Amino acid sequence: MKIIRSQGSAPFDVPAGAAVRPVPWKVLVVDDEADVRQLTALNLRGFDFCGRPLQLIEAASAQEAKAQMDAHPDIAVALIDVVMESDDAGLRLVEHIRKERNNGLLRVVIRTGQPGMAPERYVIDHYDIDDYRDKTELTMQKLYASVRLALKSYRDLQTIELNRQGLSRILSVTPDLYDLHRDKLEDYFRGVLMQLIGICKLGHSGMISTIDGMVMTVEGRDVCIRAGAGDFEEVPGNEQRRKRIVELCTQVVMDTGMQEGLRSGAAVIPLAVGKEVFGFVYLEAAEDLSEADRELIQVLANQCAAGLENFRLHHSLEDSYEEAIDMLAQVAEFKDSATGAHIYRIQEYTRRLCTELGLKPEEVDSFSKASRLHDIGKVGIPDAVLRKPGSLTREEFAVIQQHSLIGDTILKRSPAMALARLVARYHHERWDGSGYPDGKAGETIPYVARIVAVVDVFDALMSVRPYKGPWSEEQAVAEIEAGTGKHFDPVVARAFLAICKRGGFADLIQSANGEAPLELSPRLS
């Protein structure tokens, strides 16, 4: 799908007669003779190329020319005399332009009234110039032709350079467009808009002074603004214009045609994969966007649309993953209703502990979600054993131990559950190697399982169970302290205790112990 370009004659929300003036081509005339500079201006009066006039910039010496180039970095053509403050001042200026300024775009035309001081063939062979003219042959017509050819060359080279810069930018930002770990979809759209504006601002050596725009998504016939820049930022006073542009752009996308009322030269860029349109971008520039700009914008827009589709698919999978965890956690809750709330507290204990340990936000999120399935294997344990009031026999404890392996078997069918599988299998392993099911020790126990081991024991101690009442917080804390370096990873246990001491788990503890009478009943599991 191509960019749709407005052909309207009247800019939207712009007073009548306030037409945008075309940006002129800048031509530097370097000559120590004032008469020559004046004659050049006279001969080029009314010059127009591609709808843009000339702006002549004069310099009486090579030194003045350097200052003018500092002030006007977008000079397109330089008409340079050779003999000025020195016999080769003009040639030294050419070297300065090409080597010191590294400016290969500016077109250089050498003009000399003393060809013997700078023979044509020598100058052409030894200096990077684009034309050589004897002042005596530069009639009005020949000067016109020379400048026009130089401007055409500059325009074509600039188009190539801008395409190179634009494609380079697209290649550099494409990985960001496929970043699937953004917290909000609005962040994605804001990034898309900024990259598109960045492509526009590459153009024409700063010709485009302002770029305003919006990114919108389409759901059926509904349109939602996702990001705005310039006049379209969500600030008081902009509501009416934003609303009007959305209405017009919606008609453009839905009806495949430009509507009157959009600013002349504005661009509506659909974000689409195949025939499905996810949204569109509306851009307004202070000057009309060139075809090269539009082609680059379309390339980047296509990348954005593909990235958006991947983003949506990724988050759809994440949503499915969370739904699967919710369903499995509910299965565990129905199986053992006494520990249903325990599952949700474990998730929150894990989240806070992971944050304390300095894990990255995405790790905190994935570890805490995985922790909810730590006891999923209990669905395979007989109710008579699982809900038995009182202590278990050794044979019954052996049956309970099987829940770690059962959980592993249930979760291994899905690669998405790999982290939860580690939790289910290894959260009863002990730091000293005396745990089950595999007798792993120390750092051979997966990190996520070492974290869940601490919070699981603490919450179990603080909770009411069929076989016991809640322990006090002091008793439970003392148990964690006693198990540090034996049952629990010492670093993890110390972080957990630090949170406890500053009251960071107070709400979870209150939720766990309720009003049940204190009854300390040891249990092998």
Using the predicted structure, report yes or no on whether residue 19 has a pLDDT greater than 60.
Answer: no
The mean per-residue pLDDT over the stretch 329-356 comes to 78
Confidence of residue 219 (pLDDT cuts 50, 70, 90): low
Q: What does the pLDDT read at residue 253?
A: 62
pLDDT, tens only, 361-395: 989 999 998 998 898 888 888 888 888 887 889 99
Nearest in space to 325 (alpha carbons), one of 337, 350, 343, 310: 343
- 66 is known as an active-site residue: no
Domain residue ranges of the chain, discontinuous segments joined by +: 4-11+171-313, 25-138, 336-513
In CATH, the architecture of 336-513 is: Orthogonal Bundle (1.10)
From edge to edge, which strands make up the β-sheet containing 52-59?
48-49, 52-59, 25-30, 77-81, 107-112, 131-134
Q: What does the pLDDT read at residue 517?
A: 31
Q: What does the pLDDT read at residue 416?
A: 78
Arithmetic mean of pLDDT over the chain:
78
Q: What does the pLDDT read at residue 18?
A: 39
Within 256-290, where are the H helices? none
Q: What is the DSSP letter of 242?
A: H
* 25-138 and 336-513 share one fold: no
* Continuous segment of H or E residues that includes residue 346: helix 340-356
Nearest in space to 108 (alpha carbons), one of 156, 57, 153: 153
Q: Which of 335, 369, 378, 440 is catalytic?
A: 378
Start-to-end CA distance of the chain, whole Å, equals 63
Contact 283, 269 (CB under 8 A): yes
Higher pLDDT pick, 74 / 191: 74
In CATH, the architecture of 4-11+171-313 is: 2-Layer Sandwich (3.30)
The mean per-residue pLDDT over the stretch 323-347 comes to 71
In CATH, the architecture of 25-138 is: 3-Layer(aba) Sandwich (3.40)
d(CA 29, CA 37): 7
Q: What does the pLDDT read at residue 13?
A: 41
Confidence of residue 226 (pLDDT cuts 50, 70, 90): low
Q: Which amino acid is at 257?
A: G
Contact 46, 296 (CB under 8 A): no
